[in-house]
Amino acid sequence: VMRRNPFGMDICCRKGSRSPLQELYNPTQVSLSNTAVLHQIRRDQVTDTCRANSVSSRKRRVLTPNDLKHLVVDEDHEMIYCYVPKVACTNWKRVMMVLTGRGKYSNPMEIPANEAHVSSNLKTLNQYSIPEINHRLKNYMKFLFVREPFERLVSAYRNKFTQKYNTSFHKRYGTKIVRRQRKNATQEALRKGDDVKFEEFVAYLIDPHTQREEPFNEHWQTVYSLCHPCHIHYDLIGKYETLEEDSNYVLQLAGVGNYLKFPTYAKSTRTTDEMTTEFFQNISSLHQTQLYEVYKLDFLMFNYSVPSYLKLE
């Protein structure tokens, strides 16, 4: 028996109903209005941080199309999602594929992870003309998800440098890190780059040479640089710590909350606060201080306090 896909009609073309942006700022449901207050506080925090740090960020630069490649556009629900690697971005990309797939996909978790990262499966804002970009930035609900910066960093390190299958990262970054940070490195380590220590990774990140050479890889780039929250006004800032509630709130605003839920998963391999604490034990206080400076805006902007395990100079 062919079952009609419940996403068929409803998920596409929500014309005639309220847009997520209207629902966010003028909620019709009481349950949505309580949450709206929380997100107003988060927005204010970003605005205040941008204002306080605009002096140090020199003159405000104009965004280029290249700056917009992390912003995924959902035309049917008038939403823009800026994805940040290591903050549930695979699952959010899966959800965006369900939302924009016009019935092609119905269950996010049936989409293979590698498929979620195929760039042609989602449309990003840099593929539009300047007037189209401006129109969408003004009229669509823009959201992103953030995570405690050092927990995200340790998560990226564990994923990219301790897993044997990530040979492309070992070759591209690992060999460079070993060459630059390790005295008396063996020929094998220089060739493979597959045994980078966390201390070496940190030394590489704070090395001024690294900053000059090329932008950070997106897995450890700051949210500030990936999503440009001081240039783009995000309507909604979700947090990894409250991932499920925040994600389902976005889906409710989009009018699809009744039949699309954000995938939950209990991953035992997840990077935790305790794990992050352990990784930082061998980092000198000087390096901790320099690393904090690199990610400081993310800490301030998204209201993460300085971790208790840090010994800052």
Q: Tens of pLDDT along the chain (313 residues)?
A: 333 343 333 444 444 578 999 989 888 877 777 788 899 999 999 999 999 987 555 555 688 888 999 999 999 999 999 999 999 999 999 999 999 998 899 999 999 999 999 999 999 999 999 999 999 999 999 999 999 999 999 999 999 999 999 999 999 999 999 999 999 999 999 999 999 999 999 999 999 999 899 899 999 999 999 999 999 999 999 999 999 999 999 999 999 999 899 998 766 778 888 999 999 999 999 999 999 999 999 999 999 999 999 998 8
Task: Please report the pLDDT score of residue 267 as a whole number.
Answer: 67
CA distance 151 to 156: 9
**Is 307 domain-assigned?**
no
pLDDT for residue 178 = 97
Q: Record the pTM.
A: 0.91
Write out the H or E segment, with its range, that includes residue 250: helix 243-253
Residue 137 lies in a domain: yes
CA dihedral of 194, 200, 201, 206, whole degrees rounded to 10 = -150
Amino acid at 158: R
Q: What pLDDT, on the 0 to 100 scale, is given for residue 11?
A: 43
Domain count, the chain: 1
**Which residues are CB-neighbours of 287 under 8 A, at least 6 positions away?**
199, 202, 203, 206
pLDDT at 162: 94
Number of separate helices (H) and strands (E) present in the chain: 16, 4
Helix (H, G, I), strand (E, B) or coil at 218: coil
Q: What pLDDT score does 109 carry?
A: 93
Predicted confidence at residue 146, as pLDDT, reads 98
User: What region, left, alpha or beta, does residue 265 occupy, with left being phi > 0 and alpha being psi -120 to 50 degrees?
Assistant: beta
Domain extent for 135: 20-148+220-254
Residue 182 lies in a domain: no
- Asked if residue 297 belongs to a domain, the reply is no
SS3 265: coil
pLDDT value of position 6: 38
Q: What is the pLDDT of residue 27?
A: 83
Residue 106 lies inside a defined structural domain of this protein: yes
Q: Is residue 187 situated within a structural domain?
A: no
Q: Is residue 45 part of a domain?
A: yes
Dist. CA 284–CA 299, nearest whole Å: 20
Is residue 250 in some structural domain? yes
